Structure 1
Amino acid sequence: MTRRQRLPTLIMAALLAVIAAALLIGGLWLALVGGSRYYVVAGVLFLVTAILLYRRKPEALAVYAALVIGTLIWALYEVGFDWWPLAARGDVVFVLGGLLLLPWVTRPLGRRSVADALDGREVSPTPLRGSGALLAGSLVVALAVAVTSWFVDLHRVEGAMPGTRQAPGTGEGVPPGEWHAYGRTELGQRYSPLAEITPANLSQLEVAWQFETGDESQPGDPVETTFEVTPLKIGDRLFLCTPHQSVIALDATTGAEVWRYDPKIQGELALQHLTCRGLSYQPPGDTTQTAVPAAATEAPGVSTEPQATASELSAAGALTAPQASGAPAAPGTPPASDAADPNLPVAAASAATATCDAKLFMPTADGRLIALDPATGSVCANFGGGDGQIDLWDRMPNVNPGSYYSTSPAVIAGNLAIVGGTVLDNVSTKEASGVIRAFDITTGALVWNWDSGNPDQTAPLPAGQTYTPNSPNSWSIMSADTALGMVYVPLGNQPPDQWGANRSAEVERFSSSVVALDIATGQVRWVFQTVHHDLWDYDVPAQPSLVDLTVGGQRVPALVQPTKQGEIFVLDRRTGDPILPVTERPAPGGAVSPDRTAPTQPKSALSFEPPRLRERDMWGATMFDQLACRIAYHGYRYEGRFTPPSLEGSLIYPGNFGVFNWGSVAVDPARGVMFGTPTYLAFVSTLKPRSNDSELVVNAQPPQGALPALNENFGAPYAVDLKPFVSPLGLPCQSPPWGYVAGVDLTTGEVAWQHKNGTVRDSSPVPLPFRMGVPNLGGPMMTAGGVAFLSGTLDYYIRGYDVTTGEELWKARLPAGGQATPMSYEGADGRQYVLAIAGGHGSLGTKRGDSVIAYALPKEH
């Protein structure tokens, strides 16, 4: 046999030898740090197979068959019939085994001459003969196990949600076909009482209309530029805001643009995020009134039917011509107004509206709260001292434009607009205050301020004084119960997130807590802390959902609070006492001195806390990056949840991405159930010593323009290197699934069902729709028809589910990432619409876009 004929065998031998060397080096490293010995054994078998191949011995295939069976037994021992972990352990072994059976590789094995072959001596093995049959048999067994695992889902919880058990409540005076706040009402339920769309007809949903905002990425945008809005539906119109802060009114039935307002955000802002999650709405006159008249003037090509009468426009505070833009001044100075863009579909610009009865409130990235007339988009001159605006930098310490603003809508409670805001995370110890402020909804006058650094003094701060710098902030969405007279504030912690040695007693009391404030006075009514001495950025990220539950035969006003660490706290919203039991569990110690950790942490009876990571939970696309993840796992500090950040690097699981985040959950007040989207990603948190307050420690290059140097923690002794725990190929080091949908009975705390959700179609180099269960960022919505909708997965789909069983019944492709919360409303044609935003999320890497898409059942003919 010529050397050319032996070449495929020699190449295969060389490849196996290289693999053997990698496995032996990595396997010995892993064994020395206390990990699995499998990789050493596998490396030896690869090496023996390579040597035998080189020597043309047919026994090479028998040795490799032993490797296949040994790998299969080891994999089943570690993960059972769980397909994706099995695949990562056996894919390379299986593929190479198939290549070893190719005739170009096996033909030289056992043969010494043509005469030998003719005499039948040392005939080459084949898949049906000799050692080739052994290898083929081992591959068949491995394939049978793999195929079996395709029909086994070890992560699936089967069950059914209960049906209607009680009246759903009043809906806070919002008509069934409308959506007046981020969570539809200030109760934050994300529940629509519409029932036209059901599990029986859900599959018939189709696009009714699509609108593009024109808001595109711009130079100087921060990485986390996101289209996270949940629009409002009032009367016959939709109202939404874009990442670059435009406010747009659309006809809710046709999607036609009615008016647009540009607040003229100043440039060079120190933004960590650029987003607007939504607007707030104050009804005209009687707070139960909801109709919004159409614009006074119809623009070419844009329908504003039905036309509003003069009396209607007067009642809504509209003048004959709307104002559609405004220009800011420096922080601390109320901005002046500009003329409208003549290209927008509104009437010619004029002075600001003299009187607005109904108002839309828009928080801006340069720290303003602007009141607009819903009818025309005009600025309300009877609010905020004549210019329709409040300067949120007023009485703020450490003024740095862009480092503080409200990414989330204000809460409208009675005659107050209650405003929180986000401050820069992990940039410095000299940031703005996290103060919560209540403004008179008619005049814009400050009524009270609650500063967690000075919590008992809620009377308006005198001029010349400033709020407590760097205090815990509420960047997410608040809820309110006007009947009980309380607003419920989800709080974060004091930056820097991972260093808490210098926190005050007040900060320790309120960090990472739900705080109930008296609506009238701002005084604390109760506080429930979800994490003690938070060193993990486990701030309370989600809007509390307020729902009445029947517990022990009694109707109890409850608050459902999802958290980043996976706990769902169900509290009596009158007192803050747990309805479902909460216990204190021991937590790891050993924070970097002089910091400390809390000895215990609260644990709810309703918890989506993931199991503690083990080495066998490490994953990768191949055995090689899985081996790298196993080595890395042993190189980090990890003692379970609440392992403190460390100098050597700590595994934080779940990471600060959160099991739940700002999308919160949806609750059905009639059934007393919850629809949630738990996500599981591990992060690595490493403290980096700082020698001074100016040099960059974790950023290789200074940020562009005014953008902040994230995670530097200027003023603290340590910066933080915070990153996802991923393999050398950039895949999560922990096994999938990484994302689920789950249904919960809130009265018992039982998980009725849980299913992995989403594919890697838009996250992998090759667009393969593998249903692995992917992370979600953006909330769910439920309806009285028994369906739920979700668009926030990393693949670009909106999906519809049967609430009772959790089964996915419908999905539609989105043109970009859907990291927002859908909503539902009734159009002027009487149809129920479902609205999705497809705009992407910069830090997640999902495709940016500007689409607003409405779905409905086909029109009846």
Structure 2
Amino acid sequence: MAARTISSIALWISGLVILLIGLLVGGAGVRLVVLGGSWYYLIAGIGILVTGALLMARRSAALWLYALVVIGTIIWAISEIGFDWWQLAPRGDIIFLLGIYLLMPWITRPLARAIPLRRTAASAAEMTARPRSLWRGAALPLAASLAIGAVVGIIALNSTYNDREGRLPTAQAGATPPATLTAEGQGDDWRAYGHSSFGDKYSPLNQITPDNAGQLKIAWTFHTGDQKQPSDPVETTYELTPIKIGDTVYICTPHDWAIALDAETGQQKWKYDPKITERKNLQHLTCRGVSYHDENTGVGAASSAAPGGECPARIFLPTADARLIALDAKTGQPCAGFGQNGVVDLMVGMPDAQRLVGEYYSTSPPVVTRNLVIVAGEVTDNYSTHEPSGVVRAYDVNTGALVWNFDTGNPDATSPLAPGQSYTLNSPNSWIVSSVDEALGLVYIPYGNQTPDQWGGNRGPNTERFASSVTALDVNTGKVRWVYQTVHHDLWDMDVPAQPSLIDLDTANGRVPALVQATKRGDLYVLDRRTGQPIVPVEERPVPQGAGKGDHTAPTQPFSALTLLSNPLVRERDMWGATMFDQLACRIQFRSMRYDGMFTPPSEKGSLVFPGNFGVIDWGGISVDPVRQIAFANPDHMAFVDRLVPREKKPQSGNDQDVQRPAGGSDVQGSSEGGANPMFGSPYSVELNAFLSPLGFPCQAPPWGYIAGVDLRSGKVVYQHKNGTVRDLSPIPLPFKMGVPSLGGPIITGGGVAFLTSTLDYYIRAYDVTDGRQLWEDRLPAGAQATPMSYRSAASGRQFVVVMAGGHGSLGTKLGDSLIAYALPKS
């Protein structure tokens, strides 16, 4: 008798818990319906609630009702998203588990005992038959509905969604060797950040092929010894791509140490520490690479000789305290004849330099071309309307004398700035490496925004012309030759983040010198690099209107016919989560924000921005095979939420607009890509956050990261495959291949193999460029948010692939200091 009492109490408590779950789901479902969303959660919540009430009343009809809930869920889920496993799972996980629970003996036995007796005295046989009667009457239908759900799950597990199959052309694109494989770009070296001044990130080496890539092994590992310090900014990162010239590999570290290594063994040859001055207002601490110049061979055209033959081969190192340092490539010692004892101060000419020190420096290696070293730089994003200039400057490669300067705020005045004068405050800037066409005499600058990114009420005509553009300048004079803008009046941080890729492209009008520009919004703009005119069609389309107070939006935006964004829209059915609860929360959040499609302006209500400012493509860019005229990319699909927060005090006009901005030296917290950004001098601050569920999972359904192959001649994305696992993102190391974001870029080799390391799981992977098939992977000791490179060592004749596994502070990947070289086993 006591056992039956305990059993009845357990049934009642189970019913109460299920009733409360129903109240939770149904109540949130009411909120979703009011916002215009799906009715499913309200209906399912009522079903779960009544199921709980029937259990508390010891009614076997509870199982019948719940079977209907299960079947209804299956029908609804399939009608919304088909048989996509990762979308089905959060729709049905709680429902399925509750169904299993309802079939447990501690539920079915008390319900069986509660079946009413016939009026005649119950026989022992009838009492024994009650459990069987329950299964025939109620439990069996529930079990059958769960079996149907299991079958649907098995089908979904074996279904392929989101991938696109295809094969890129394998034939060479003509008998004439592309320009990127002549002179500078050809051979065993990796001479610049993007392999050559064309920024193609293509090595012609073909020792590693799809047939043998699986045999790659670690050849050597070098530990830099440069680790993140407690005083460093959050965004302390290794985003390094080494260069290799002759028998030496050259690298830099977050604290701007320059190091030379033996290309065959990885042994250190020399190290130079510039002993940078860190300031509290430093937003980033990273060094993406160094640049090289040799007076004997030149980089492109021949250069003038260095005075007295000093430093005939030199390394150019940008530093976080806004210096450009020239080092002897053989010894690592500063070249005394360059600037002041080997140093050019990049704060010279900056407006309000003493106040703004620490808010400008070059994270990326400069461009070295002819007799010039051309340097741009980043400014502190989203902090203030009072920021350093985004000026691009060309210095004599030997003396460090200023040759020309291009300031978007004063674009016609390119002669060297006179002493006592300053560049335009807060003009658009360029964070990443530029590209150069020596034959055309043009340098191509990828531009970002005038800060702040999410409010542009005070932008002038020059900003509106040059921001978020590719701008071609005359190499010798810095004069503008053409400008192509990819976003008008950019309020989304959709700047041009990546080095342009130059390629000679076969078109219906013959072979054309082309420029391929990857963007954060996923569009690839293919332009005639002589004129800036599109080769692949671009269409101006109307976009959502209604910016924050004091601001405006552009009526149209340019859309390229070639895009890596597989679906430009986010819908309620795309909401995701680990369970139905956080998926429901994501649906409510989605319906509560402003979202009118791509280019929805930031708002006080909070706007969904997709693609987010993390970018479909960020600074890692794409890689281009100039022989096959194809491209390989690693696009991301992640939404962000931008919310404008009004200030209590309205900023003043004119020169007093920036009065709320603290003096230089204030601590810049967090990253420009997330969290609270103050935007001093504007009517708002802004909160930028990834679109996440209450449990911290993306609200947007996976995949979040892909690899893609592009036929540049046809202007088509040929294949796209989800890429990467959640092993290093989940609380336990689950190797589910869901497709994870990546930050960094790929490379292509002449053997038809592409390499990528930048996913948020810690792997280097090799792919068959033709069809995107993964060939090989190896576990890395830390995050590798960087772009690899490849070279051949004369000592052994082997082709090496070198990757930096140093982690990324803002993304939370594991930090490290490992530079790792892979090669095929020695024969």
Counting only pairs closer than 5 Å after superposition, residues 646-685 of structure 1 correspond to structure 2 as 646-685=603-642
**1:383 aligned to 2:338?**
yes
| SS of 2:131 mapped into structure 1 | coil
Q: How does 1:85-96 map to 2 (within 5 A)?
A: 85-96=87-98
Tell me whether 1:242 sits opposite 2:198 in the alignment: no
Q: Choose which of 513, 520, 540 in structure 1 pairs with 2:476.
A: 520
Q: Deviations over 1:352-402 (max 9, x none)?
A: x981111100000000000011111111112114x0010000010132232
Which one of the candidate residues 824, 835, 838 is aligned to 2:805? 838
- In 2, the alpha carbon distance for the partners of 1:594 and 1:16 equals 51
Shift of 1:682: 0.8
**TM-score, normalising length from structure 1?**
0.90
- Taking the aligned partners of 1:766 and 1:395, their CA distance within structure 2 comes to 52
Contact 2:564/2:717 (<8 A) preserved: no
Name the amino acid aligned to 1:132: A
2:30 corresponds to which residue?
A: 28
1:397 correspondence with 2:351: yes
2:690 alignment partner in structure 1:
724
Structure 2 residue 282 is matched with structure 1 residue 271:
yes
Partner letter of residue 708 of structure 1? V
Which of 367, 373, 380 is matched with 1:424 structurally? 380
Q: Is the 8 A contact 2:563 2:717 kept in 1?
A: no
Q: For 1:558, what is the secondary structure of its paired residue? A: strand
Q: Which residue of 2 aligns with 1:638?
A: 595
Match of 1:690 among 631, 647, 651: 647
Contact kept? 1:354, 1:382, Cα under 8 Å: no
CA contact (8 A) 1:398 1:430 kept: no
TM-score (norm 2): 0.93
Maintained 8 Å contact 1:211/1:853: yes
- How do 1:341-490 and structure 2 match up within 5 A? 355-385=310-340, 387-399=341-353, 400-490=356-446
Q: Find the counterpart in structure 1 of residue 571 from structure 2.
A: 614
5+ residue gaps in structure 2? Answer: 653-661, 670-675
Aligned pair in 2 of structure 1 residues 690, 126: CA closer, same or farther (>3 Å)?
A: farther
Offset of residue 150 of structure 1 = 1.4
Shift of 1:126: 9.0
| 3-state SS of 1:356 partner | coil
Tell me: CA distance 1:64–1:417, structure 2 relative to 1, closer, same or farther (3 Å): same
Q: Output one character per residue of 1:81-140: Cα deviation in whole Å (capped at 9) or x when no partner.
A: 111111010011111111211222211112149966642476136996432211111111
CA deviation after TM superposition for structure 1 residue 173, in Å: 2.0
Letter in 2 for 1:374: A
Residues 435/798 of structure 1: CA separation in 2 closer, same or farther (3 Å cut): same
Tell me the amino acid that sits aligned with residue 48 of structure 1.
V
How many angstroms apart in 2 are the aligned matches of 1:195 and 1:622? 47
Paired residue for 1:217, among 219, 223, 228? 228
1:61 Cα deviation after fit: 1.4
Distance 1:125 1:6 in 2: 19
Deviations 1:680-706 (A, max 9, x none): 1111111111234899xxxxxx99974
- Rounded to whole Å, the distance in 2 between the matches of 1:117 and 1:675 is 75
Residue 10 of structure 1: which of 9, 12, 21 is its match?
12
Distance 2:641 2:415 in 1: 42
Q: Is the 8 A contact 1:838 1:852 kept in 2?
A: yes
Question: Does 1:138 pair with 2:118?
Answer: no
1:270–1:465 CA distance, 2 compared to 1 (3 A):
same
CA contact (8 A) 2:58 2:114 kept: no
Counterpart of 2:110 in 1: which secondary structure? coil
Contact 1:283 1:289 in 2 (8 A): no
Work out the CA distance in 1 between the residues paired with 2:789 and 2:649: 49
Would the aligned equivalents of 2:8 and 2:110 in 1 still touch at CA under 8 Å?
A: yes
Q: Which residue of 2 aligns with 1:505?
A: 461
Shift of 1:670: 0.4
Cα deviation for residue 233 of structure 1 reads 0.6
Q: CA deviation at 1:12?
A: 2.4
1:160 to 167, 170, 178: 167
Task: Give the counterpart letter for 2:596 in structure 1.
Answer: E
Task: Tell me whether 1:790 sits opposite 2:745 in the alignment.
Answer: no
> Do the aligned residues in 2 keep the contact of 1:101 with 1:127 (CA within 8 Å)?
no
> Would the alpha carbon gap of residues 679 and 404 (structure 1) be closer, same or farther in structure 2, given more than 3 Å must change?
same
Q: Secondary structure at the match of 1:842?
A: coil
- In structure 1, give the amino acid aligned to 2:327: L
Distance 2:531 2:299 in 1: 28
2:792 to 818, 826, 836: 826
CA distance in 1, matches of 2:798, 2:35: 63
Deviations 1:804-835 (A, max 9, x none): 01001100001110100011111221001111
Would you say how many aligned residue pairs link Structure 1 and Structure 2?
A: 794
Task: Kindly indicate whether the alpha-carbon contact (under 8 Å) linking 1:174 and 1:180 is maintained by their aligned counterparts in 2.
Answer: yes
Distance in 2 separating the partners of 1:538 and 1:622 = 32
Distance 1:788 1:686 in 2: 39
Residue in structure 2 matched with residue 297 of structure 1 by the alignment? none
User: Using a 3 Å threshold, how does the CA distance of structure 1 residues 57 and 675 change in structure 2: closer, same or farther?
Assistant: same
Taking the aligned partners of 1:111 and 1:726, their CA distance within structure 2 comes to 46
Among candidates 188, 191, 209, match of residue 198 of structure 1: 209
Matched residue, 1:349: none
* Counterpart check, 1:63 vs 2:29: no
Residue 857 (structure 1) aligns with: 824
Match of 1:124 in 2: 131
AA paired with 2:536?
A: L
Where 1:124 maps in the other structure, the secondary structure is helix
Contact 1:269 1:401 in 2 (8 A): no
Q: Measure, in 2, the Cα distance between the counterparts of 1:504 and 1:172.
A: 42
CA–CA distance in structure 1, aligned partners of residues 133 and 558 of structure 2: 62
Q: Is the 8 A contact 1:693 1:714 kept in 2?
A: no
1:204 shift after superposition: 0.6
Structure 1 residue ranges without an equivalent (≥5): 291-314, 318-352, 696-701
**1:45 maps to which residue?**
47
- Alignment-derived partner of residue 244 in structure 2: 233
Distance (Å, rounded) in 2 between the aligned partners of 1:539 and 1:53: 58
Query: In structure 2, the residue corresponding to 1:12 is in which secondary structure?
Result: helix
In structure 2, what is the equivalent of residue 287 of structure 1? 298
Secondary structure of 2:112 counterpart: coil
> Which residue identity lines up with residue 712 of structure 1 in the other structure?
P
Once residues 253 and 130 of structure 1 are traced to their aligned partners in structure 2, the CA distance between those partners, rounded to angstroms, is: 76
Could you tell me whether the CA contact under 8 Å between 1:472 and 1:511 is conserved in 2? Answer: yes
Matched residues in 2 for 1:673 and 1:240: separation? 29
**Hey, what does 2:656 align to over in structure 1?**
none
DSSP-derived class of the 2:429 partner: coil
Shift of 1:640: 0.4
For residue 172 of structure 1, report the CA deviation from its aligned partner.
4.3
AA of the residue aligned to 1:559: L
1:587 counterpart letter in structure 2: V
The CA deviation string for residues 777-798 of structure 1, in whole angstroms up to 9 with x for no partner, is 0000000000000000010001
Which has the higher mean CA deviation after the structures are superposed, 706-715 or 205-214? 706-715
Could you tell me which amino acid in structure 2 is paired with residue 641 of structure 1?
M
Instruction: Give the match for residue 533 of structure 1.
Output: 489
Note if contact 2:60-2:134 (Cα within 8 Å) is conserved in structure 1.
no
Flag the 1:36–1:196 CA change in 2: closer, same or farther, 3 A: same
Alpha-carbon offset, residue 631 of structure 1: 0.7
Q: Matched residues in 2 for 1:481 and 1:289: separation?
A: 9
* Counterpart Cα distance in 2 of 1:594 and 1:705: 29
Q: Aligned to 1:26, what secondary structure does the other structure show?
A: helix
- Cα distance, 1:217 vs structure 2: 1.2
CA distance in 1, matches of 2:423, 2:663: 28
Deviations 1:9-64, CA, capped at 9 Å, x for gaps = 33421221121110111000111111111111111111121122222222211111
